[in-house]
Amino acid sequence: MKDDRVYIRHILDEIAFLRKISDGKTLQDLRNDDYFAHAVRSAIEVIGEAAKNVPDRIRTENPDIPWREMAALRDRVIHG
């Protein structure tokens, strides 16, 4: 069983990555730059998968974090 913190670390790392690569980018860049769009989709996938694996105990202790929304966004991005 993985240490619960690994899921939180994945989420935080991907958020930091998204902030770094999106600095100065626009929605138009996301539409026109396949590499940028792929990187964003990949990060969203990792965030969503990690959010799905965060134990209920941690979710309950942190109700202000949008766990379900992160997972749902991942599903929308991956499955259309």
pLDDT tens-place string over residues 62-75: 999 999 999 999 99
Q: What is the pLDDT of residue 68?
A: 96
Our answer to whether residue 79 is catalytic in this structure is yes
2 pLDDT above the threshold of 90? no
Neighbours of 25 (CB within 10 A): 12
Our answer to whether residue 9 is catalytic in this structure is no
Query: Phi then psi for 55, rounded to 5 degrees?
Result: -60, 150
Total number of residues shown for the chain:
80
Active-site residue identified among 5, 10, 19, 74: 74
Grade residue 1 by pLDDT with cuts at 50, 70 and 90: low
Per-domain boundaries in the chain? 5-79
Q: What is the pLDDT of residue 80?
A: 80
